[in-house]
Structure 1
Amino acid sequence: MTTRKKLNWNRLSLLLMIAPFLVLLFIFSYIPLFGWSYAFVDYKPGLGLLQSSFVGLKYFHIMLFEQGSELLRVLRNTFALSFLGLFLSPLPVVFAILLNELRSRSFKKFVQTITTLPNFVSWIIVYSIVVAFFSTDGVVNQLLLALNWISEPTQMLSNAEGTWLFQTALGVWKSLGWSSIIYLAAIAGIDTELYDAAKVDGAGRYRSILHITLPGLIPTFFVLLILNIASILSVGFDQYFVFYNPLVADRIETLDYYVYRIGIATNDVSFGTAISIAKSIVSITLLFSVNYLSKKVRGQSII
């Protein structure tokens, strides 16, 4: 009986430890859902919600039938940038494996620090760095002109055709080191006896990576891939807000930026909220769909 009481108390203590975080989750993630009610009223800034007239699904109708062409353009940009990110999602896995194979601990820590540091640099600072290097009178253009490799400066920040690739490259540069940390932790959790047994059997470094490290990372990779697919409509706002300019607006305006422009810049809060609701519904549907497929194909799921 004493053992059972002790076990129940241990469980209760663990529950009490996470209680503050559950409260914060409820405050910041669930209470704001009350704001969805703005999508069903004709809200005007300065008026209260109760003083606004109820319009039902008016803004959802506008989104689908009146703003369809503009919304399709925004979705095109969002899906293009998202799929490019998903296509390059194995890069952190490869980087983590290569980093783990470094023999020098000091050099390994140096590389990990240098590659992780950009994650903590704001996009405002990144934009300043990019302007200094890639603007028409930046370091890169001046160097290429001096070497006679180009005849005129390249327009990296105003080149609409290369916007998707350029922004994807910046995103990879900024997040590669940080994203590899979870894979390094997964590698550290692989049983070292497997590597010892492989070495005894004559397996070299590359075969150990192929038959031990990679299979050990696949579950972690698929969990993160499912989460990334579920958030495919959320490709980030701050990056594209900073790099937005009229010359690349047609290619860089994503769904999050479109919601900001409609809801904040033009004060159409109701329409912006309706778009956000649709985005959330699509994201939840994608999450459960991909999770269901993962359960059917791999026999494992995250929900």
Structure 2
Amino acid sequence: MRNEPHQRRIFKTIDAVRSSPHPTPKIKTNSIHMNNNVNPQNQKHIFLLSHMRANSSLIGHILGSHPQIKGYFEMHTSYRSAMDMITQEQILEQSKELSNTTKPNSIRYVFDKLLHNSYELLLENLRYDSDPNYIKILVSLRQPQQSIKSIISLFKKKHGTHPYAEPEKALEYYRQRINALAQFCDKNKQSYYYYDAELIRNDTQNSLPRLQNWLNLETPLKEEYQLFSLTGKAWVGDSSENMTKGKIIKHENNYSDIELPEHLLQTVIDETEQCRKLIIAHAIDSMNI
């Protein structure tokens, strides 16, 4: 088991929990009544909706290091019903490798991030009439040029060839993801908070207190974070060396060796600006550069 790639172990853990029998929640008029093992009054949820290379692993570790938050990495799953959230909690409860907490009694939130259009968050199926704060949603974008270059750089380092190592495919991933996030926000107005991803590194002093306030956390978020079993591992988050530093690194690579097709890049820049304006307009609150 220890010699298996961590990705395979994670898949086995997730599949084992999903295939195990557990009570199905009863759903009535959008109010969900759980069994005693999952208390919706205590276990709430944070979802970060973003795209690859938008500092999502960094903010996941900062949030996951907070005593009231469980989870810090990308679980690669959809949330289409209450059962999916129960499964998420059970995965983290049953696997010591995947869990990031030793103080379960202090946990208020369970965290996950969704960075790909293949994973859905169907908010209309997850609402709790008795507690509108049961789900906290963060939406974050990073400006396209640096994001896309970072995606290309990341996938060029992987073994073998990957479509996202090609500028055209990386640009198309980013474009499709940005548009999907805008569609989600247009559908779910006033249900999320927005921040520009660059602020986590460039304006830490102001951005982390705002996030703390949005999430109703009792103690501050810190720019130093814990290193967990999956920190720096591929597939579940940022595999760069900076993630293993345990603190926010201000310096960013400018990827001067990577060139993007100018005509395609400009189209993506224009679409991103339109999507970003829509997302900010419909947010509960926002932090912008």
Q: Could you state the TM-score of these two structures normalised by the residue count of structure 1? A: 0.22
TM-score normalised to the size of structure 2? 0.23
Higher helix residue share: 1
Higher RCO (C-alpha 8 Å, min separation 6): 1
Decide which structure has greater strand share.
2
